[in-house]
Every structure is written in C-alpha cells, then in structure tokens.
Amino acid sequence: MPDAVQTQEARTMKAVVFHEHGPVENLSLESVPVPEPGAGDVRIKVAYCALNHLDLWTRDGLPGLKLEMPHIGGSDISGTVDTLGAGTERYGFQPGDRVVVNPGVSCGHCRFCRMGEDPLCDTYHILGEHTRGGYAEYAVVPVRSLMSVPEGVPLKTAAAASLAYQTAYRMVVGRAKLRPRENLLVLGAGSGVSTACIQIGKMLGATVYTITSSDEKMRLAKAIGADHVVDYTKDTEWEKTLYKLSGKRGMDVVVDHVGEATWVKSMRTLGKGGRIVTCGGTTGPKLQLDVRHLFWKGHTVMGSTMANDQEWREVMGLVYAGKLEPVIDTEFGFADLPDAHRRMEEAEQFGKIVIRVAGEPDS
C-alpha cells in the first residue's frame, strides 16, 4: 500500500485558494490536485509569484468574472519546467529549464493578434485572473507564454518584472511613444507599474517627474531615477508645482493609473501635444475631461493594458541585460500571502511584493 499512498500524495499540491470572492480572510492554504498539462501546455514548478493589484480585484470579484472555484490567483510566475504537454516539444524547453511566464494569453492568429494588438484578442485572458495562477506549487500555462531565464538572473527578478514591466513598456513606449528629453509624469510612484515607468523613462532619456506620499517613498523614487518628486500629501496643488518645475512647458506624457483621485490634475499638467495614458484606476473609474483643453492643446487620451508578445520579450530582455531592474519591496513566504495582500491593500509598498513558493537554490 505505500505505493498507493505515494501516488495519492504525488497528485496533490499546496495552493493558496479562495472558494468565494471577498476579503483577504477568504484566502486559505489547502491541498488541491496537481494540474495536468493539456496539448500545448507546460506544467511549471513554481519558484516565485509576484503580486499585482489585479490579485486584489480578482479576489474581491469583478463584473462579469466567472471563475471555477476554488480559484488560485497569481499572475506573475517564474520557476522551472516540470512536464511538457503534447505538441510542445518543438519549442525546445526541457524539464528543469528556468522560465518566466507571460500572464497575458492570446490566440496568436485572430485579426488583433496579427496586428500585434494581442491584448485586444477576442480570447485574451490573464493567468491568475481568468484562469488558475501561480499561488501553488505547480501551474499549467501555454508553452507560447514561456521565456527562458538566463543563468545569473534570479527567478525572483523575472517574476517581479513580467506583468508590471510589460504594462509599463507598452504604455510609455508602444502607446505614448515617449522621446528623449520629453517630460514624463508618473503618478503613484510606489506601485510596480509606476517604478517600471520611471525606469523606462530614464532609460529613454526623458526628464521624469513623479508624486508620492512620504519622505521615504520620495527618497526611493529619486534612487531609481526620478528627477523631480513632489509629496502630494503636503503639496495639494502639486499640478501647479510640476508645471513650474517643468519651466511652464508642462508634461509631454503622463501615466495615470490612479484614476478619479488624480485625473483632473493630471490632465492640467499636460503641455501642448501631451499624451496621457492609463491602464486602470485604483481610486475609481469615472474620469472627467474638459474638451476645450483637449482640442486646443492637441491632447491625446490613451488606454492600454498588458502588452503584445514581442513587447514582453523585448522588455524582459532589457531586464535580463540589467538595463531595467525591478524594485523588490518585500518577499513573503507562501503561507503569508494574506499579509502580502494586506500590504498592497494599504498601499504601503514601494515596488513589487513577491511570494516565495519554493524559491531557488541561488536565492
């Protein structure tokens, strides 16, 4: 009978799940079946999973989001290849290979995918949001979503970069087309996407402005390259301060994913020909627009989400090369995921919160 027991054990794994949408108390560490890879899929032994604000929204429940319960969240996965599903051999991965996962899954052949607009794909979905994700010892993902992680690049770094850096890269480079010596304003310096935007702005030779909420976060924002940082809790007319700091040119590009709380002021900072780009609104979804400014100053308002496969691979290459370096705020153990959610809910973090599921020997 020992064999039977072993087989039984081999088929379950630890995962942090929730059985219904709601507060952080709904998360629980449980034993669940190990997922089997279907055709075109690969099973990953998860080393790290990084948090995103999306995790909180998915846990709370989103309009139209119907999940198979219990759900396993977590979009930013890195680890090693465990088992190859049928038809994946030609991609060249072997068991044991160190890999990172693109959480954005597209079909690869529809009209939008062919145009490089993967996030607009008819079947676009995000691992950990629409399907089970990485807060588990194993995760099954499409082989097309994998990229090797070179030796010398920690798996923790790769997990921390995947969603935030592709989102930032598409907003700043793909959509707003930020140019050298332009002014870039990044709202909410502490988030993973914002720290990525600041670094990408500096890499491109822009002058980077940001607003944040404490002396410590101001110091950290400067440390990763922000040229001008304003504490919006002390300076409630920060939009005027930024305008003065820019020599009355205003901003060429603004990245605002804060939403209702900052949008009107963000729009006021825009100079002539300015572009404002958003990937969401953490403080609320309804935004105001003054059409007089929009047309007279030639402003452009852009929405953006995630990135296409090529952009993801480009920005991960920049991370691997050390040109962009994800800021790790804190690392939590697997069982401490609820504490990690609380830290993000309180907006205490600066950079990425990562969960060590199994870790790796070199970390």
Q: How far is the CB of 107 from Zn ion (least distance, A)?
A: 3
Q: How far is the CB of 106 from Zn ion (least distance, A)?
A: 5
Measured from the CB atom, is 113 or 340 closer to Zn ion?
A: 113
Q: How far is the CB of 117 from Zn ion (least distance, A)?
A: 9
DSSP assignment of 324-354 equals S-PPEEEEEEGGGHHHHHHHHHTT--SSEEE
Q: How far is the CB of 112 from Zn ion (least distance, A)?
A: 6
Instruction: Name all contacts of 8-12 with Cβ < 8 Å and 24+ positions apart.
Output: 10/34
Q: How far is the CB of 290 from Zn ion (least distance, A)?
A: 36
Asked if residue 33 lies in contact with residue 156, where contact means CB atoms within 8 angstroms, the answer is no
Q: How far is the CB of 86 from Zn ion (least distance, A)?
A: 22
CA distances from 160 to 153, 207, 351, 356 (A): 12, 25, 9, 11
Q: How far is the CB of 174 from Zn ion (least distance, A)?
A: 17
Measured from the CB atom, is 106 or 278 closer to Zn ion?
A: 106
Asked if residue 315 lies in contact with residue 183, where contact means CB atoms within 8 angstroms, the answer is no
Contacts of 255 (CB under 8 A, 6+ apart): 168, 171, 172, 176, 184, 185, 186, 187, 193, 194, 197, 276, 277, 278
Q: What share of the chain is helix, strand, coil (3-state, %, to 5)?
A: 35, 25, 40
Measured from the CB atom, is 113 or 164 closer to Zn ion?
A: 113
Could you tell me the two tokens for 153? 């690049």
Q: How far is the CB of 125 from Zn ion (least distance, A)?
A: 11
Q: How far is the CB of 104 from Zn ion (least distance, A)?
A: 11
Contacts of 145 (CB under 8 A, 6+ apart): 101, 102, 103, 104, 105, 127
Measured from the CB atom, is 111 or 272 closer to Zn ion?
A: 111
In whole angstroms, give the CA distance from residue 13 to residue 102.
23
In whole angstroms, give the CA distance from residue 41 to residue 140.
6
Measured from the CB atom, is 313 or 323 closer to Zn ion?
A: 313
Measured from the CB atom, is 121 or 206 closer to Zn ion?
A: 121
Measured from the CB atom, is 123 or 283 closer to Zn ion?
A: 123
User: Which residues contact Zn ion (rule: CB under 5 A)?
Assistant: 106-107, 110, 113, 121
Measured from the CB atom, is 65 or 107 closer to Zn ion?
A: 107
Q: Which residue intervals of the chain are DSSP H helices?
A: 2-10, 53-60, 111-114, 155-169, 192-203, 215-223, 238-245, 263-269, 291-296, 309-320, 337-345
In whole angstroms, give the CA distance from residue 141 to residue 91.
14
Enclosing H/E stretch for 43: strand 41-50
In whole angstroms, give the CA distance from residue 304 to residue 340.
26
Q: How far is the CB of 170 from Zn ion (least distance, A)?
A: 16
Measured from the CB atom, is 115 or 289 closer to Zn ion?
A: 115
Measured from the CB atom, is 117 or 260 closer to Zn ion?
A: 117
